[in-house]
A and B are shown apart, each in its own frame.
Chain A
Amino acid sequence: MATAATISVGPSKPHPPITILKRSRADVPLAQTKFLKKTARGKVQTILRERYVRNDISCGFEACLFCQEFPGYKPVLPTIGYRKHTKLTDHEGHWLVIDTNIVLHQMDLLTNLPARLPLIIPSTTIRETRHRSLPLYSRLQQLIQDEDRCVWVWWNEERRETATVQQIDGEEMEGVNDRNDRAIRQSLHFYAEHLKSSVPNPPKLVLLTDDRRNRELATSEGLIASSARDYVDGLEGDVRQSLVDLVVGGVDEVQSGERKGRRIYEEYLPLEALNVGVKSGRYHQGHFNANQYNYLEGTVNVPGFNKPVLLVGREAMNRSVQGDVVVVEVFPKSEWKAPGEEVLDQDIALRDDDADDDEGPGVDEGEKQTEKAEKMDVDEETKKNPRDIQPTGKVIGVIKRNWRAYVCHIDRSSLPSSAMTSLSQQTVFATPLSRTLPRIRLRTRQAPQLLDQKILVTIDSWSPNSRYPDGHFVRSLGKVESKEAEQESLLLEYEVPYRPFGKAIMDCLPVEGDKWVVPPKDEGRIEWRDREDLRDLIVCSIDPPGCQDIDDALHARKLPTGNIEAGVHIADVSHFVLPDNPMDSEAASRGTTVYLVDKRIDMLPALLGTNLCSLRPFVERLAFSVIWELNSEAEIVRVRFVKSVIASKEAFTYEAAQLRKDDPSLSDPLTESIRLLNDMAIKLKAARMRAGALALSSPELKIHLDSSESAEPIDVEQKQQRETNSLVEEFMLLANISVAGKIQETFPSTAVLRSVKFIEREPEILTLLRRRHGAPPKTNFEALQDILMKRKGMTLDVSSSGALAKSLDACEDPKEPDFNFLVRIMATRCMLSAEYFSSGSVSKESYGHYGLATPIYTHFTSPIRRYADVLAHRQLSAAINYTPLHPSLQSKSHVEKTLSVVNKRHRLAQMAGRASVEFYVGLALKARGSAKGADGRTREEAYVIRVFRNGMAVFVSKLGLEGLITFSKDAHDFDAENYVLRLPKENGPGFTEVGVFDKVVVEVGIEKDANTQRGKVKMILVEPVRSELL
Chain B
Amino acid sequence: MSTSRLEILNDGGLRHDARRPYELRSLSLSLSPHPTADGSATVTSGLTSVTASVFGPREPRSRAGTSHDRGIVSVEVGVAPWSGTREVRRSRGDKRLTEIAASIRQTFEPVILLHLYPRSEITINIQVISADGGILPTAINATTLALLDAGIALLDYTTSLSVGLHLTQPLLDLSAPEEADLPHLVVASCPASGKVTLAAMETRLHVDRFEEMLRLGVDACRVIRDEMESVVKKKAAEVVRRSQAVIGVPDAR
Contact = CB atoms under 8 A, between A and B. Distances in A.
Contacts of B212: 12-13
Given A8-B195, A131-B5, A134-B3, A21 B12 contact: no
Nearest to B220: A18
A345 B102 CA distance: 74
Interface stretch (A50-58, A349-357, A510-518, A644-652): A50-58
A32 B47 contact: yes
A9 B200 contact: no
B167 A580 contact: yes
A318 to B, nearest CB: 26
10 contacts: A4-B198, A4-B199, A8-B193, A9-B189, A9-B195, A9-B196, A10-B194, A16-B20, A18-B22, A19-B23
Interface residues on A, range: 35 or more
Given A11-B215, A131-B5, A18 B223 contact: yes
Interface in A864-885: 884-885
Interface string A879-900: 0000011011010000000000
A18 B46 contact: no
A22 interface: yes
Interface stretch (B64-72, B146-154, B201-209): B201-209
B134 to A, nearest CB: 12
Interface string A1-37: 1111111111111011111111100000000100000
Contacts of B198: 3-4
Q: Among A12, A20, A130, A153, which residue has the most Cβ atoms of chain B within 10 A? A: A20
A526 interface: no
B81 interface: no
Contact of A51 (B17, B204, B207, B218): B17
Nearest to B207: A884
A771 B149 CA distance: 84
B194 A53 contact: no
B216 interface: yes
Contact of A580 (B1, B21, B168): B168
Interface stretch (B24-32, B52-60, B116-124, B232-240): B24-32
B175 interface: yes
A7 B19 CA distance: 30
B110 A57 contact: no
Nearest to B102: A1
Interface of A: 1-13, 15-23, 32, 45-46, 48-54, 57, 71-72, 123, 130-131, 134, 141, 144, 153, 155, 157-158, 580, 884-885, 887-888, 890
Given A20-B23, A21-B26, A134-B3, A1 B194 contact: no
Nearest to B204: A890
Contacts of A72: 12-13
Given A10-B215, A11-B215, 12 more contacts: A3-B103, A3-B199, A7-B195, A9-B195, A10-B194, A18-B22, A49-B175, A155-B12, A155-B14, A158-B12, A158-B14, A887-B167
Nearest to B16: A49
B227 A20 contact: yes
B24 A48 contact: no
B128 to A, nearest CB: 15
A584 to B, nearest CB: 12
Q: Among A1, A15, A49, which residue has the most Cβ atoms of chain B within 10 A? A: A1
B12 A6 contact: no
Contacts of A50: 17, 25, 46-47, 132, 175
A136 B89 CA distance: 41
B253 interface: no
A4 B207 CA distance: 15
A6 B197 CA distance: 5
Nearest to B48: A50
Given A18-B22, A71-B20, A1 B46 contact: no
B94 interface: no
A49 B176 CA distance: 9
Interface in B66-103: 84, 86, 99, 102-103
Contacts of A51: 17-18
6 smallest beta-carbon distances between A and B, as pairs: A12-B215, A23-B26, A158-B18, A6-B195, A20-B24, A887-B206
B243 interface: no
B12 A153 contact: yes
Contacts of A144: 11
A32 B99 CA distance: 30
B147 to A, nearest CB: 17
A20 B106 contact: no
A749 to B, nearest CB: 11
